[in-house]
């Protein structure tokens, strides 16, 4: 059996970090099992779906490195839904209902007032053919509900949550189709999972009750259900569900210089017993992915943790992988020299300006004689493979300075900064002429 997962976003907006985590886990599981990861665009809501969001979803997945084996679109599968719907109707598993939204709301309030759960009372099943004809003659079109089997317990072994059990009698028959003929999420999703041969569905724990309902739909269609893994939802660093999580996506990550590898490394591991590590290669994430290591507590997403992880990822990136994003003229030597001091690749441009100049040198008047001596030594000494240590050794011998008093004035004069890359690597890149000019400038 080919393992097949899917990511099924609705193109009604941009992907956010929670969506990305779901897509990643479906992709990683498929990779771990030598299977296939499919993208399904759930665009049955024609009024809210937009093609620009379809393009954005594809672009986001590509940036993350989550390549899909294939793609399906629900808007191209309506004939399939009609056929399944007709078969379920003929089997008595779907039925028309005529209550308005206001009438249903009133029923819920009455049930609540009596201390009863807000479950649909199946009043529509008591209507005769004449009753239905009379209602429709008044211009009221039906919406359609799936009839749950109250006599069969709903059970499954969730890959994360373990054994699950629901009593169908405590649940409302779900509406699967609106009065205008448009489809809601539940039935088309189940039909597509069956027809596409989806073997595993990884999604948030807010879908657990949907899974219970859809398992009866799979049974009613006479098809095998996928295995389900419901993961704990993401929360903000403060431990609460955060509106900000709904606005964080690939566009934001790219704007602040986050690498795709950092997003993958964090989202693959948070909420599990595995440590979050700065893994550039997805192979390590794939090899260690295990639903048994997922916890039940909410997974905390912390932007500060992501930023720290990103810096560690950047420190591993070789020149070839970043060359197109570096300033013109910046080569491998310059990249390797500044890389340990970067939090994002974009910051390399700042250090390229330091190397190329001009810079705003920082000078303490008390260091004037010391820097003049440095300029003299710079002009006279051989320019070998390690001019920094040659210069500082000569100055230490002449002035008796050491430690911060020796190194900081030189760094400030040569770079305009108090901190930065190792001067042993940086000074040869600045070059003798530029270095001498910076030391001698008053």
DSSP state of 272: B
Q: How many CB atoms lie within 10 A of CB 144?
A: 23
pLDDT in tens, 46-98: 899 999 999 999 999 999 999 999 999 999 999 999 999 999 999 999 999 99
pLDDT in tens, 85-142: 999 999 999 999 999 989 899 998 998 888 888 999 999 999 999 999 999 999 999 9
The answer to whether 265 and 24 are in contact (CB under 8 A) is no
| The pLDDT value given to residue 240 | 74
Q: Is 312 annotated as a binding residue?
A: no
Lowest mean pLDDT among 57-71, 249-263, 310-324, 359-373: 359-373
| The pLDDT value given to residue 239 | 74
| The pLDDT value given to residue 401 | 95
Using DSSP's 3-state secondary structure scheme, residue 241 falls into coil
Among candidate residues 14, 50, 13, 49, the one with its CA nearest the CA of residue 253: 14
| Residue 244 confidence class, pLDDT cut points 50, 70, 90 | confident
- Whether 442 shows a pLDDT value over 70: the answer reads no
For residue 396, report the phi and psi dihedrals to the nearest 5 degrees.
-60, -45
How far from chain centre, in Å, is Cα 17?
4
- Whether 404 shows a pLDDT value over 90: the answer reads yes
Query: Average pLDDT, whole number, for the chain?
Result: 95
pLDDT in tens, 345-394: 999 999 999 999 999 888 889 999 999 999 999 989 999 889 999 999 99
pLDDT in tens, 170-198: 999 999 999 999 999 999 999 999 999 99
**H or E, element range at 145:** strand 143-146
The answer to whether 71 and 41 are in contact (CB under 8 A) is yes
Q: Per the structure block, which two tokens stand in for 260?
A: 């795709």
Separation between Cα atoms, residue 175 and residue 122, nearest integer Å: 12
For residue 385, report the phi and psi dihedrals to the nearest 5 degrees.
-75, -20
**H or E, element range at 97:** strand 94-97
Which string of DSSP letters, residue by residue, matches 136-188? HHTT-PPEEEE---TTS-EEEEETTTEEEEE-GGGSPPPEEE-TTS-B-SHHH
| The pLDDT value given to residue 441 | 72
């Amino acid at each position: 059996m080919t393992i097949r997962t899917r990511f099924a976003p609705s193109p009604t907006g941009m992907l956010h970090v929670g969506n990305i985590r779901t897509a990643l886990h479906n992709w990683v599981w498929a990779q771990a099992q030598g299977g296939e990861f499919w993208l399904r665009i759930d665009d049955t809501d024609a009024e809210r779906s937009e093609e620009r969001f379809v393009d954005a979803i594809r672009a986001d997945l590509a940036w993350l490195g989550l390549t899909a084996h294939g793609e399906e679109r629900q808007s191209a599968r309506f004939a399939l839904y009609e056929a399944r719907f007709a078969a379920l109707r003929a089997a008595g598993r779907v039925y028309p209902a005529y209550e308005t939204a206001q009438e249903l709301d009133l029923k819920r309030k009455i049930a609540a007032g009596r201390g009863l759960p807000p479950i649909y009372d199946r009043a529509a099943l008591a209507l005769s053919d004449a009753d239905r004809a009379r209602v429709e003659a008044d211009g009221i079109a039906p919406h359609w509900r799936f009839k749950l089997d109250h006599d069969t317990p709903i059970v499954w072994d969730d890959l994360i949550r373990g054994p699950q059990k629901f009593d169908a009698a405590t649940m409302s028959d779900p509406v699967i189709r609106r009065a205008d003929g448009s489809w809601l999420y539940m039935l088309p999703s189940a039909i597509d999972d069956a027809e596409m041969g989806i073997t595993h569905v990884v999604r948030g724990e807010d879908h657990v009750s949907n899974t219970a309902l859809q398992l009866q739909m799979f049974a009613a269609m006479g098809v095998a259900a996928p295995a389900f893994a419901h993961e704990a939802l993401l929360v903000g660093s403060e431990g609460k569900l955060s509106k900000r999580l709904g606005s964080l996506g690939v566009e934001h990550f790219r704007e602040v210089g986050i690498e795709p590898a950092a997003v993958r490394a964090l989202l693959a591991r948070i909420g599990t017993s595995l440590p979050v590590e700065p893994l550039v290669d997805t192979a390590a994430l794939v090899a260690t992915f295990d639903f048994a290591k997922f916890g039940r507590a909410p997974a905390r997403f912390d932007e500060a943790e992501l930023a720290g992880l990103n810096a560690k990822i950047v420190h591993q990136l070789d020149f070839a992988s970043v060359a197109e994003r570096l300033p013109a003229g910046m080569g491998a030597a310059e990249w390797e020299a500044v890389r340990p001091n970067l939090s994002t690749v974009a910051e390399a441009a700042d250090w390229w300006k330091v190397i190329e100049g001009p810079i705003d040198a920082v000078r303490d008047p008390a260091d004037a004689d010391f820097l003049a001596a440095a300029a003299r030594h710079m002009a006279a000494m051989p320019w070998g493979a390690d001019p920094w240590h040659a210069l500082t050794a000569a100055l230490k011998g002449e002035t008796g300075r050491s430690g911060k008093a020796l190194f900081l004035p030189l760094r400030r004069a040569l770079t305009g900064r108090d901190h930065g890359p190792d001067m042993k690597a940086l000074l040869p890149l600045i070059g003798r002429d530029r270095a001498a000019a910076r030391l001698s400038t008053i």
